[in-house]
Amino acid sequence: MSKIFGERLRQIRRENCLTQSQIGEFLSVSKMTISAWETNKQEPCIEDLRKLARFLDVTSDYLIGLECYDGTREI
């Protein structure tokens, strides 16, 4: 994944007034794992990506940079 994932995760988390701990608790991962995702030091497994997208009410394609927020494809 590119840096887009970490940037979008952080942006959406902040827009929803969520902490890294809250997301980690939902996914059963540590706050440090969420931090590593946001700083592009690690990537989530496919299952965590799917759960994360559902929890944040966005598509996984949006999170990984394949589409815009409105659902149109990224160029």
| Inter-residue contact 64 to 71 (CB < 8 Å) | no
Tokens of residue 32, six digits: 């440090």
How does pLDDT run across 12-46, given as a tens digit for each residue?
999 999 999 999 999 999 999 999 999 999 999 99
pLDDT at 73: 63
Go through the domains of the chain in sequence order and give each one's CATH number: 3-63 (1.10.260.40)
Distance CA(39)–CA(41), nearest Å, equals: 6
Distance CA(50)–CA(34), nearest Å, equals: 15
pLDDT at 66: 86
pLDDT at 74: 59
pLDDT at 15: 96
The yes-or-no verdict on residue 68 having pLDDT over 90 is no
Q: State the pTM of this model.
A: 0.85
Tokens of residue 3, six digits: 């840096």
DSSP 3-32: HHHHHHHHHHHHHTT--HHHHHHHHT--HH
pLDDT at 26: 96
